[in-house]
Amino acid sequence: MTKKTDDTELDQFEEETDEAEMGSVLPPPDEDLPFDPLHGEHGPLKQLVDFNFLQYAAYVICDRAIPAIEDGLKPVQRRIMHSLKEKDDGRFIKVANIVGHTMQYHPHGDASIADALVTLANKRYLIEGQGNYGNIFTGDRAAASRYIECRLTELARKELFNKELTEWIASYDGRNKEPVTLPCKLPLMLMLGAEGIAVGLSTSIMPHNFIELLEAQIEILREKKRTPAVLNLLPDFQTGGLMDVTEYNKGNGRIKLRAKIELRGTNKLVITEVPYGTTTESLTASIEDAVKKKKVAVRTIDDFTAEKVEIELTLTQGAAQEKAIQALFAFTKCETAVSSRLICLRDNRPVEMTVDEVLRYNTQQLLVILEAELNLRKAKLLDDFHQKTLVQIFVENRIYKMIEQCKTYEEVIAAVYEGLKPFKKMLRRPVVDEDIEMLLSVRIKRISLFDINKNRQDIENILAELAEVEKNLGALNGYAIRYLKQLIKDYKDEYPRCTTATGFKEIEVRELTATELQINRDENGYIGTNVKGETILECSSLDKLLVVWNDGKYKVMPPPDKLFVDDSLERCEIFDRDKPYTAVYTDARITYIKRFQFGGVIMNKEYYCSQGEKSKLQLFVDGTPEAIYVKYNPAKGQRINQQRFKPTDIAVKGVKSRGNRMTTKSIKYIGAEPGRWWDANDEGAMPDGVLL
């Protein structure tokens, strides 16, 4: 009994404790009211899901998909570069070895690391590859990582690394240290570009020309406070091509890209550069598809691409080269568009920026890193000066003679300190015990005249370099400009601009394809593009066709392959919703006339411009004729045998309107012009018809 009572009290205590910890998260149960998931209070499970989802989202954004503005790299790229630096000895290393070394820092599979390394190598700036790294033009994949080798480029080796300026954190398993970001002096994010999809956001950063970025940084460093530099930075793609940036705004917006097409002979075209994001394989596939659809007048396609793009197109007999180029841009991947949205990590938080803002940030970072490097160099020079000056004093003033009679080590230390006291003004910092230890380890050969003179020369060189460093620290902007100019001088020939910026003239696709298709009609009552017979219409595949039957039925449709119309076809033409028509039709022995526009329609749906399938169109003409001439069938007691009506007297109405009553007589002939059946001699005696 006591045991049961204790258990009950424990359960009650746990329930009270849980409620106290959760506060008002859980409302009191109310069995009469249903739970509302949108507005009701939720329990700890929702809190757990929310917390875990936020953790996952932050991980994907910060640790996988989005590059950091500080060094322009995603975590996997940064770890690859750090591994390459650790293994760097100037020689090529197996990519498989680098992948394995990187896995110490990257908690994911080897395939993702190898793919990221190949991508970096193909961007040229940071990694030099040896072996089959695929082909950015054809889309061919790289060989397996065990077959290819890589090493750091000289640019990466000099401009990306500095252990003393790097902030380190523990790797994912705590066994190693990896950099938070690399102390990069280059605007690397804009040089490389980036694509990434994270939770709730994505980034698409276009690559830019290295030399143009450096020149823009010089303009930023030279600008005055009231007149900021105007930067006109445009993307530059390795695949070359042409681009239109009218919809692009400093890293955000849309860019249209076109292949570069050259004329060869009188009936050939050669594609020498492809748009960014396409390959020669996808490009030729799109051309083949357009040829099958008869949109491009190409007879044969020959792809000779190797180190450079060369796709030769032989045109069909009589095809115009300029028109064929326009068709390639209109119907194939010779023209594409890419969207740009510059989102990056700044201080480990995602932000949307412009190219100008990123470059100004990188320029400010360059100044900070250059200043830190100069200060490090200054500290090292001061240490060297201190040590060499101490050696000079120690040797030239024969202070070492003072320790000959010392019996203990403490006496030796004290004697050296005493001997250096008169020369404190020659030093730039106080003497410490480590300095005395260094002096006591000076070898006898350094006391020779040769080594003394060399030591003096070294001190003079140190002082000269120290003065230069202090001068650069005092004029940091000028030093940064000289640094950037040297980079431009070293790499200008290696990284020329590949993509040409130009405005594109809009291609009138409908005009280009105005005679693309032929609508034929055969003797069996069929019309269409796959029908053999008399050509009744030439049109574009983009056109909508209006088909009208002689009972007033009409339909709007794309150009049909084959459509049965029998002998009742009245009209087949390109549809224009605002075009005016005049129609005369008979329904229930009464003839009506109306002027109308078709207006909006649903594709492939049947309508009537008359009163139904029992009606009959007597006349269907474009616009408004000046007059309509009617000849009646003879009838007993009929006085009027022909009449002229003026349709301009009636208003333009909708296609569903009945129209104006014209006559109840049986019509034999009707036309917008008087035919041979019209009796001109009887014209004056016949009154004009009245429209009711």
DSSP of 64-133:
IIS-BTTTS--HHHHHHHHHHHHH-SSS-EEHHHHHHHHTTT--S-HHHHHHHHHHHHHT-SSEEEES--
pLDDT tier, 269 (very low <50, low <70, confident <90, very high otherwise): very high
Smallest CA-to-CA distance from 580 within 623, 626, 627 is with: 623
pLDDT at position 442 is 76
Mapped onto helix, strand or coil, the DSSP state of residue 235 is strand
What is the DSSP secondary structure assignment for residue 422, as one 8-state letter? G
pLDDT at position 56 is 58
Average pLDDT over residues 4-21: 45
pLDDT at position 15 is 47
What is the DSSP secondary structure assignment for residue 540, as one 8-state letter? -
pLDDT at position 420 is 87
Which tokens hold the place of 49? Answer: 């899901």
CB atoms within 10 A of CB 193: 21
Look at 119-123, 256-260, 519-523 and tell me which has the smallest mean pLDDT.
519-523
State the pairing for strand pair 242-244/500-501.
parallel
Mapped onto helix, strand or coil, the DSSP state of residue 579 is coil
Q: Does residue 363 register a pLDDT over 90?
A: yes
pLDDT tier, 541 (very low <50, low <70, confident <90, very high otherwise): confident
Rg over alpha carbons for the chain, rounded to the nearest Å, is 43
Q: Does residue 33 register a pLDDT over 60?
A: no
pLDDT at position 433 is 85
Can you tell me which residue has the tokens 């149960």? 29
pLDDT at position 61 is 64
Domains and CATH numbers, the chain: 73-183 (3.90.199.10), 260-333 (3.30.1360.40), 379-490 (1.10.268), 512-671 (2.120.10.90)
Look at 36-50, 203-217, 416-430, 618-632 and tell me which has the smallest mean pLDDT.
36-50
Please indicate whether residue 409 is annotated as part of the active site.
no
Q: Does residue 3 register a pLDDT over 80?
A: no
Which tokens hold the place of 342? Answer: 């510059």
Give 348-353's long-range contacts (Cβ < 8 A, gap of 24+).
348/62, 348/68, 350/61, 350/62, 350/66, 350/198, 350/201, 352/252, 353/69, 353/251
Look at 104-118, 264-278, 674-688 and tell me which has the smallest mean pLDDT.
674-688
Average pLDDT over residues 243-250: 92
Q: Does residue 39 register a pLDDT over 70?
A: no
The per-residue pLDDT for range 416-470, each reduced to its tens digit, is 888 888 888 888 888 888 888 888 887 766 666 657 788 888 889 999 999 999 9
The sign one gets for the Cα dihedral 277, 279, 282, 285 is positive
Residues 620, 608: contact at Cβ < 8 Å?
A: no
- Give CA–CA dist 575/656, Å, rounded: 17
Which tokens hold the place of 511? Answer: 């005009």
Residues 65, 197: contact at Cβ < 8 Å?
A: yes
pLDDT at position 539 is 86
Residues of the chain with pLDDT > 70: what percent?
A: 89
In degrees and rounded to multiples of 5, residue 168 shows phi and psi of: -115, 150
pLDDT tier, 42 (very low <50, low <70, confident <90, very high otherwise): low
Terminal Cα distance for the chain, rounded:
107
For residue 73, give Cα distances in angstroms to 92, 180, 273.
Answer: 22, 11, 28
CA dihedral of 27, 28, 34, 39, whole degrees rounded to 10: -20
Q: Does residue 676 register a pLDDT over 70?
A: yes
For residue 685, give Cα distances in angstroms to 583, 642, 681.
Answer: 26, 10, 8
Q: Does residue 251 register a pLDDT over 60?
A: yes
- Give CA–CA dist 619/636, Å, rounded: 26
Which tokens hold the place of 133? Answer: 């790294």
In sequence order, what are the residues at sequence separation of 6 or more whose Cβ sits closer than 8 angstroms to the Cβ of residue 305?
A: 135, 137, 138, 280, 311
Smallest CA-to-CA distance from 622 within 600, 646, 596 is with: 596
Can you tell me which residue has the tokens 């998931």? 37
pLDDT at position 51 is 65
Q: Does residue 30 register a pLDDT over 80?
A: no
In degrees and rounded to multiples of 5, residue 246 shows phi and psi of: -65, -25
* Higher pLDDT pick, 75 / 9: 75
pLDDT tier, 685 (very low <50, low <70, confident <90, very high otherwise): low
pLDDT tier, 687 (very low <50, low <70, confident <90, very high otherwise): low
Which tokens hold the place of 273? Answer: 């550069």
- Give CA–CA dist 280/412, Å, rounded: 79
pLDDT at position 447 is 64
The per-residue pLDDT for range 316-358, each reduced to its tens digit, is 998 889 989 999 998 999 999 999 999 998 988 888 999 999 9
Burial class of residue 30, CB neighbours in 10 A (0-12, 13-18, 19+): exposed
pLDDT tier, 54 (very low <50, low <70, confident <90, very high otherwise): low
Which tokens hold the place of 4? Answer: 């049961």
pLDDT at position 612 is 85
The per-residue pLDDT for range 175-201, each reduced to its tens digit, is 999 999 999 999 999 999 999 887 778
Query: Of the residues 56, 105, 125, 147, which is catalytic?
Result: 147
Smallest CA-to-CA distance from 540 within 330, 337, 332 is with: 330
Considering 85-99, 420-434, 515-529, the range whose residues carry the highest mean pLDDT is: 85-99
Question: What is the distance, to the nearest Å, from the Cα of residue 201 to the centroid of all Cα atoms in its chain?
Answer: 14
Residues 20, 14: contact at Cβ < 8 Å?
A: no
- Give CA–CA dist 216/488, Å, rounded: 11
> Assign residue 65 a region: left if phi > 0, alpha if psi is -120 to 50, beta otherwise?
alpha
SS3 content of the chain, % helix, strand, coil (to 5): 35, 25, 40
pLDDT at position 31 is 52
pLDDT averaged over the chain? 86
The per-residue pLDDT for range 585-628, each reduced to its tens digit, is 998 889 999 999 998 899 999 999 888 888 899 899 998 898 88
For residue 365, give Cα distances in angstroms to 187, 189, 474, 611, 667.
Answer: 9, 13, 17, 79, 91
Q: Does residue 16 register a pLDDT over 80?
A: no
The per-residue pLDDT for range 467-477, each reduced to its tens digit, is 999 999 999 99
Burial class of residue 258, CB neighbours in 10 A (0-12, 13-18, 19+): buried
- Give CA–CA dist 422/425, Å, rounded: 8
Q: Does residue 19 register a pLDDT over 80?
A: no
